[in-house]
Structure 1
């Protein structure tokens, strides 16, 4: 079973900002937004500047991290076909 992750939307970030401004707990914000409380904690920790969370700057920070992330590279189909055979015969991919 694979886990599918979703990025927070801009609307969810605005809800987080509003909740924090109203001194709501992270657990109640999480329940309202529909995510796990650790998601709120992580979002606030990663995207706060000088202990202030702003939805717009949080989106920019998140976009910058995603742009710098390594891209998934799917191996060539011929390689995925031949590699198990080579390994079975004791050949190393090095």
Structure 2
């Protein structure tokens, strides 16, 4: 895999970010409701355009019994804002190890 260099600069317009990588340049922005100008996709939209599946391995040690530990871990995932944001857009495989 190659080395990727990305340069981002916040613009003075809404939430726009001018981003360059190699010979390519693009704008990242937020919708108007998010205090942006909707001049380009938001960061999550760019991420989802490049991802086809996410695999997450989770390991945690608790002092709970097995059923309590499993319930706790599922509640942590349910309360995770990243998981809640992405789960309807891309398959997410959770592996509790």
User: Smaller-chain TM-score range?
Assistant: under 0.3
Q: If the length of structure 2 is used for normalisation, what is the TM-score?
A: 0.22
Q: If the length of structure 1 is used for normalisation, what is the TM-score?
A: 0.22
More strand by share: 2
For the pair shown, which has the larger CA radius of gyration, 1 or 2? 1
